Amino acid sequence: VAILFLSDADATGAWAAALERELPDDEVLIGTDAARARAADIDFAVVWYPPPGLLARLPSLKAILSLGAGVDHVVLDPGLPAGVPLVRLVDPALTEQMAEWVAMNVLRHHRLMPFYAEQQARAYWKRHDIPRARERRVGIMGLGVLGQAAAAALRPFGFPLAAWVRHPRPWTDGEIFAGPEDLGPFLARSDIVVCLLPLTAETRGVLNARAFARMPRGAAAINGARGGHVVAADLIAALDSGQISAATLDVFTTEPLPASDPLWRHPRVTVTPHAAAVTLAETAARAIAANIRRCRTGTAMVGVVEPTRQY
């Protein structure tokens, strides 16, 4: 029985070691050449951006396990084998990092740090008034594993919270908005918007000119999800008009973000290099191995993607 590991991540050796530690009776194969040579032996594929069509050529495949919480890198493969479960990564270490990143950036925007950084660059001393946290409304797009952890991290500060989801449900920490018809009212009540959605056909481009226009004037936008959620030209126009006061972006449609991209140099954009929540080999291998064991014993795996929803 062989487990295929396919990723452009540089720490391939660390990954192989971590998977072998967790699954000592399995052979770990690495890379596309091994995948082609041993196609019939591969039971499970652990992947990040697999080459399109490759997974369809593995006849014994029982599950595809994503190296990230997002599965857009697999769902976009037009040759994805039908009937093979696709599983996203649910790893407490990843979740913890995203909660930290969101809390840090909501506080940065709440406390006007992007403006103070701009002032510091000009050696300009001016203090600005800010509302209390209880008056600064934070809206989280996506209340899944990461959105819930972000909300829990923000709760102690007292920001009025709301979340935009697909399926309405009760939520004790704030107000729930669900579905396309609730998007406008959700954005209209959010002074700081945090995107933690999966990238799907429904969510691509959701933060566009219309969305920015619906936010209160001077709102801030934080994207920790995928670059495809934001229409960058619309964001820049909204920043330049003052409709959006500042933005923090961790993810981009092209990564690494090209040096010529205007987002790098916009005075009110903070860029981080897809670093909000980084998959760690040791903890992720543990979560992935637990799912492989569940699959082998006929138990439900954690994080199975619903194919029609794409998340």
Binding residues vs ligand NAP (CB under 6 A): 68-70, 94, 98, 142-147, 164-167, 196-200, 202-203, 224-226, 250-251, 274, 276-277, 311
CB of 212 to ligand GLV, least distance (A): 23
Does the protein bind ligand GLV through residue 198 (CB under 6 A)? no
How far is Cα 104 from Cα 223, in angstroms, rounded to an integer?
A: 13
- The catalytic position among 108, 226, 266, 268 is 226
Which is nearer to ligand NAP, 218 or 273 (by Cβ)? 273
Whether 274 is a known active-site residue: answer yes
How far is Cα 177 from Cα 120, in angstroms, rounded to an integer?
A: 38
Which partner, ligand NAP, ligand GLV, none, binds residue 187 by CB below 5 to 8 Å per kind? Answer: none
Which is nearer to ligand NAP, 41 or 282 (by Cβ)? 282
Buried b (16+ CB within 10 A) or exposed e, 103-134: bebbebbbebbbbbeeeeeeeeeeeeeeeebe
CB of 125 to ligand NAP, least distance (A): 34
Helices (H), the chain: 12-22, 31-37, 72-75, 92-110, 113-121, 145-154, 180-188, 209-214, 232-241, 262-265, 281-296
- CA-wise closest residue to 277 among 166, 147, 111, 151: 147
Does the protein bind ligand GLV through residue 279 (CB under 6 A)? yes
Whether 309 is a known active-site residue: answer no
Residues 90 and 66: beta-carbon distance below 8 Å: no
Mask: binding to ligand GLV, 54-83, rule CB under 6 A, as x and -? --------------xxx-------------
- Which are the catalytic amino acids? 226, 274
Name the residues that contact ligand GLV, by CB under 6 A: 68-70, 89, 94, 279
